[in-house]
């Protein structure tokens, strides 16, 4: 009777309930996808977790032929490429954030630069890898001959350079937004006290946005850790542990993502396959935790 008065026919009411249920179902589906991803990864890596235990993480030998699996070479490779890339990228992403956030927030020049940064993020990683293989590798070979290390061309450092370019937009675009959010009374106060532009940036803007910029760096790091194709094409894919620091940086290596990409379809027995999936599980956990921490910091920052 209530419904009649509201002039809602029964069929419309039915549609309304169905519609609400569909919305809820799709949101539940999202949760199920994540739980499914987690369950699949854990379930499929159980054979290797059981057989190898926690020692898997620091086993130094990866030799599928003799059935020995250790993740240490890939952990080192992943951390090295990501952190070198991060160190290279930080000056650029901070400079872009400061320039577009503070010096030049409006106008055609800043639009141009902003579009260029977005374009860097849009280019597919396979194209970075392909370009790197044919252009950057020969350049690196000459460079490595000059500084007196084995001229592989491909390797950890070459991958890091390409990675650095690829991850800059993630930290930069967040940094721009955050620096623009600095309240102008704070800046004006500092100017009124006679501070120069550099001093305002150093002692007002930077302290104010520090946590947010750090979150941007974390998001970049998350990208770098999981990046697959460009690194797979450039890193050289050896699972041996380098004998010296010089070789570890300039020589070929392997990351967790690249070893999965290379060996997954070749893995011919359960233990081999499940060791690779365990690498995927580790990668999943690390990137998710880093991303969630980054996102948490940003939410906190924007709410204040």
Taking the complex as a whole, the smallest distance from the CB of residue 188 to another protein amounts, in Å, to 17
* Alpha helices (H) in the chain, listed in sequence order: 2-5, 10-52, 72-98, 108-122, 125-131, 137-147, 156-180, 184-192, 197-200, 206-226, 229-234, 245-250, 256-263, 270-303
CA pair distance 239, 258, nearest whole angstrom: 11
CA pair distance 166, 125, nearest whole angstrom: 8
- Pick the piece of the chain touching another protein (CB under 8 A) from 57-65, 68-76, 244-252, 253-261: 253-261
Interaction between residue 133 and another protein (CB under 8 A): yes
Site string for another protein, 97-116 (x = CB under 8 A): -xxx--x---------x-xx
- In angstroms, what CA-CA distances link 242 with 70, 73, 147, 297? 14, 8, 18, 36
| SS3 labels along 270-295 | HHHHHHHHHHHHHHHHHHHHHHHHHH
Q: Which of residues 261-280 bind another protein (CB under 8 A)?
A: 261, 264-265, 277, 280
Contacting another protein (CB under 8 A), which of 154, 182, 205, 257? 257
Interaction between residue 127 and another protein (CB under 8 A): yes
Contacting another protein (CB under 8 A), which of 209, 239, 247, 291? 291
Interaction between residue 95 and another protein (CB under 8 A): yes
Contacting another protein (CB under 8 A), which of 154, 190, 204, 290? 290
CA pair distance 100, 85, nearest whole angstrom: 22
Contacting another protein (CB under 8 A), which of 149, 186, 229, 249? 229
CA pair distance 118, 166, nearest whole angstrom: 11
Q: Give the DSSP letter of residue 87.
A: H
Q: Give bridge partners of residue 63 from the DSSP assignment.
A: 68
Taking the complex as a whole, the smallest distance from the CB of residue 245 to another protein amounts, in Å, to 27
Interaction between residue 125 and another protein (CB under 8 A): yes
Size of the site for another protein (CB under 8 A): 85
Q: Which of residues 1-20 bind another protein (CB under 8 A)?
A: 6-8, 12-13, 15-16, 18-20
Taking the complex as a whole, the smallest distance from the CB of residue 124 to another protein amounts, in Å, to 3
Give the list of residues 6+ apart from residue 26 with CB closer than 8 angstroms, or none: none
Q: Give the DSSP letter of residue 67.
A: T
Q: Which of residues 51-90 bind another protein (CB under 8 A)?
A: none
Taking the complex as a whole, the smallest distance from the CB of residue 48 to another protein amounts, in Å, to 13
Contacting another protein (CB under 8 A), which of 84, 190, 233, 248? 233
Taking the complex as a whole, the smallest distance from the CB of residue 34 to another protein amounts, in Å, to 4
Output Rg (C-alpha) for the chain, integer angstroms. Answer: 25
Interaction between residue 197 and another protein (CB under 8 A): yes
């Amino acid at each position: 009777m209530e419904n009649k008065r509201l002039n809602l026919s029964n069929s419309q009411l039915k549609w309304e309930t169905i519609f609400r249920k569909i919305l809820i179902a799709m949101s539940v589906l999202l949760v199920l996808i994540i739980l499914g991803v987690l369950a699949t990864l854990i379930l499929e890596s159980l054979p290797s977790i059981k057989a190898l235990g926690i020692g898997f993480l620091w086993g130094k030998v990866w030799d599928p032929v003799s059935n020995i699996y250790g993740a240490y070479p890939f952990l080192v490779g992943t951390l090295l490429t990501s952190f070198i890339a991060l160190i290279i990228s930080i000056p650029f992403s901070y400079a872009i954030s400061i320039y577009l956030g503070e010096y030049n927030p409006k106008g055609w020049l800043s639009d141009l630069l902003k579009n260029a940064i977005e374009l860097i993020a849009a280019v597919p990683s396979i194209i970075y890898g392909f370009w790197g293989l044919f252009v950057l590798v020969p350049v690196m070979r000459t460079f490595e001959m000059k500084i007196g290390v084995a001229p592989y061309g491909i390797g950890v450092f070459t991958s890091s350079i390409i990675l650095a370019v690829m991850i800059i937009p993630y930290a930069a675009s967040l940094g721009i937004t955050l620096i623009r959010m600095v309240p102008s009374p704070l800046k004006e106060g500092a100017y009124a006290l006679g501070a120069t532009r550099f001093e305002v940036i150093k002692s007002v803007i930077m302290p104010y946005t520090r946590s947010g910029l750090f979150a941007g760096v974390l998001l970049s790091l998350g990208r770098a850790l999981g990046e697959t194709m460009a690194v797979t094409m450039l890193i050289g894919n050896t699972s041996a542990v380098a004998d010296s620091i010089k070789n570890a940086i300039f020589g070929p290596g392997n990351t967790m993502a690249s070893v999965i990409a290379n060996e997954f379809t070749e893995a011919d027995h359960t233990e081999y396959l499940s060791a690779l999936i365990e690498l995927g599980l580790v990668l999943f956990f690390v990137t998710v935790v880093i991303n969630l921490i980054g996102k948490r910091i940003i939410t906190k920052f924007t709410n204040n």
